Structure 1
Amino acid sequence: MADTTLRTAGQRAALRSLWGNQRVWLASAAILAILAVFDPMQAADSAAFAGAALLKTAPYLLLSIGIAAWAGATGADNLIAKAFTGAPLLMIIFGALAGGLSPFCSCGVIPLIAALLAMGVPLSAVMAFWLASPIMDPSMFVLTAGVLDMQFAIAKTLAAIGLGSFGGLVVHLLARGGALSNPLREDIGNGGCGGSKVREPKPVVWRFWQEAERRTKFGREATKTTLFLAKWLTLAFLLESLMLAWLPAETVTSTLGGEGLLPIITATFVGVPAYLNGYAALPLVGGLMEQGMAPGAGLAFLVAGGVTSIPAALAVWALARPQVFALYIALSLSGAFVAGLLFQLWNMA
């Protein structure tokens, strides 16, 4: 009986793992299957659209994959530990830069943040990193430039760093007034594998190809990143094809296009429930902008959606007390709106 129970539990765990790894591919397959039954012409058009879009972005995909694999193989993500030493204001700036520019370990942001807070790193610096990290990294920059354009990629990078710096400064001022003195939930540990990068940062090995273990890690990271990007972009391009086919351009233009504050406010709040994934959101925003979405609204959507997406928000909720989580959301939405507004003004100048 015990063996049977163990086998059944193991089978359930295997099925959960399979579903977790393949659900995005299955979603793409389901979309094409449903279209094939009810609208065969659209099924063919969507498949062709996704294939052509993937081919067009292939050079940027390869560069993005190479950057991610290189960071893992060399240990460049260890450099993030250096961002959290120094004077408080410098730590805020470097925390925002680390979150917006540096790739960090695949162990995930939750253990890393837990380690930083448990070790006594000020919440202001951690919040700067926390706000900036979901928005931009080197791989995201390359793909944003390829799918949208270089100006948008630069604007998104500046928005990530600016939001992180702004959020860190707000938290710093609140902390000086005595607020947020105990940000972590009870029973939060020291961060595990993610925290080790802060506690004991290892030197970066730039010539990783000279070590067999690092060469293997490069291949492993490249394969993992390739599969990750391929599944999300395939789904995103399929959804973009349907959006272009079924969503009237005049509806997008009237809701999210034009000048003024309303399109940016709308995009900021729509980005919270509508955001899928940082990479998947790029083609969707590109399609909306082709139909008349204002550039500032597009940036607000990407920034708000990235910071408040389910994985990013759950990371904050899992670690921080409710008041810190509420502050995180408020900073995210206000920062996304300001970023979108400034980008819109820049495009109008």
Structure 2
Amino acid sequence: MADTELIERREPRLPERLKTVWAVTALVLLAVALLDPPQLRPTVEFSLSALGRTAPYIVFAVILIAGLKATGSETLVSRAFQGREVQAIFMAAVFGGLAPFCSCQVIPFIAALIVAGAPLSAIMAFWLASPLIDPPTLLITAAALGWPFAIGKAVAAVGLGLMGGFVVRALTHAGHLSNVSRQKAGCGSCCSSAPKAEARPVWRFWQEADRRATFRGELLGNGMFLLKWLALAYVLEALLITYIPAEAVADVVGGEGVVPIVISAFVGMPAYLNSYVAPPLLAGLTEQGMTAGAAMAFMVAGAVSSVPAMAAVWALVVRRVFALYIALGIGGAILSGVLFQLAV
């Protein structure tokens, strides 16, 4: 899935509770109630209405993710790295769009592939494409921003994967990318749910108690995950539309030039917004003057990496590969934004 550990395994203490997404949402609404009481009801109504429109997508997404986890079928992406190198690049880029990994969850899978000796070109193709899109993210993006944007992001995911794969292939054949791995990576709890590359799916998961428990846990965990993040996202979207002047947004990321797209890409990458929160927020920003190209650049860059994922990659690979990973992510986001701006 596209971004953090979904289920808390222990009961949080009071200070930790105050840092939860629900607490943040409540504090935001409390601030609105105290500072601008007449705006509280419209904010709540807007958020509930948006959640209602997104509810069918949420239901489908959580069932799909629970099924993927219970069967272990997301491990089928490991087949993308078999065969000839060029074929492996294409397969990795395409299958990356089906893998439910965020920029952090994909790290253990990449580490295993490096150890297994898979070609770095195919690894990079999957590495860049996987965090960008998966079926649930496609649906959430379509619900918030429309199908043209969702399809554009899917095309950008595959295109970025192919670009990264063939750039790495050219550099590797020129002798510039040897001794790739530094050490075993570790990026925190959100990486722990990544599957092992060698595992095989079990389609009749309901016949095994452990897999039934996994399905139930993922169903509830992902449902609450999507609900709490989207609730916060829609509250913030309502506030963006209400309080941020359209002129202010237009001044920074408006216009038809390349500069707003470049700015959005550089701002998007370090931001830790998962693929379920970003679409509603960008929907609010586009209504305030953000261009479609800038929104696409922000979303692509933000999905490819984030500060936690960068820290994991820094520990995983040599500096040249790290720099290339960042450069491909930023460059691909800018290119995706420019092309999407021209297409819409």
Query: In structure 2, what is the Cα distance between the partners aligned to 1:264 and 1:193?
Result: 34
Instruction: Work out the CA distance in 2 between the residues paired with 1:51 and 1:237.
Output: 8
Offset, 1:17: 11
- Provide, for residues 140-171 of structure 1, a one-character-per-residue CA deviation record: whole Å limited to 9, x for no partner: 01111111111111110111111111111111
Query: Runs of at least 4 residues of structure 1 off by over 6 A?
Result: 192-196
Q: Which of the pair is proportionally richer in helix?
A: 1
Partner of 1:337: 334
| Secondary structure in structure 1 of the residue aligned to 2:269 | helix
d(CA) in 2 for partners of 1:344, 1:195? 34
In 2, distance between residues paired with 1:290 and 1:208? 44
Unaligned 5+ residue runs, structure 1? 1-12
For 2:25, the equivalent position in structure 1 comes to 28
Q: How many residues align?
A: 331
Task: Give the Cα separation in 2 of the matches to 1:298 and 1:195.
Answer: 28
User: What is the match of residue 184 of structure 1?
Assistant: 181
Consecutive unaligned residues of structure 2, counting only runs of 5 or more, are 1-9
Aligned ranges 1:94-109 → 2 under 5 Å = 94-103=91-100, 108-109=105-106
Larger Rg: 1
2:297 maps to 300
**SS in structure 2 opposite 1:279?**
coil
Under a length normalisation based on structure 2, what TM-score does the superposition of the two structures give? Answer: 0.88
TM-score, with normalisation over the residues of structure 1?
A: 0.86
Note the 1:151-166 alignment, pairs <5 A.
151-166=148-163
Deviations 1:114-156 (A, max 9, x none): 1111111122111111111211111101111111111111110
Does 1 or 2 have the higher relative contact order (CA < 8 Å, sep 6+)? 2
Pick closer, same or farther for the CA change 1:276–1:75 going to 2, 3 Å. same
Residue 180 of structure 1: CA displacement? Answer: 1.9
Sequence identity, in percent?
Answer: 49
Distance in 2 (alpha carbons) for counterparts of 1:117 and 1:205: 25
- Summarize the Cα distance change of 1:78–1:104 in structure 2 as closer, same or farther, 3 Å threshold: farther
Match of 2:164 among 156, 162, 167: 167
Counterpart mapping for 1:283-298 below 5 A: 283-298=280-295
The CA distance in 1 between the partners of 2:60 and 2:14, in whole Å, is 29
Superposed CA RMSD in Å reads 2.7
State the Cα deviation string for residues 76-102 of structure 1 (Å, max 9, x = none).
Answer: 112011111111111111121222222
User: Is 1:115 equivalent to 2:149 in the alignment?
Assistant: no
Cα offsets for 1:198-253 (capped at 9, x unmatched): 2x331x33343454443332221111111111111111111111111111112223
CA distance in 2, matches of 1:187, 1:275: 23
Q: Who is 2:309 aligned against?
A: 312
State the match for 1:49 in structure 2. Answer: 46
Quote the residue 1:206 is aligned against.
Answer: 203
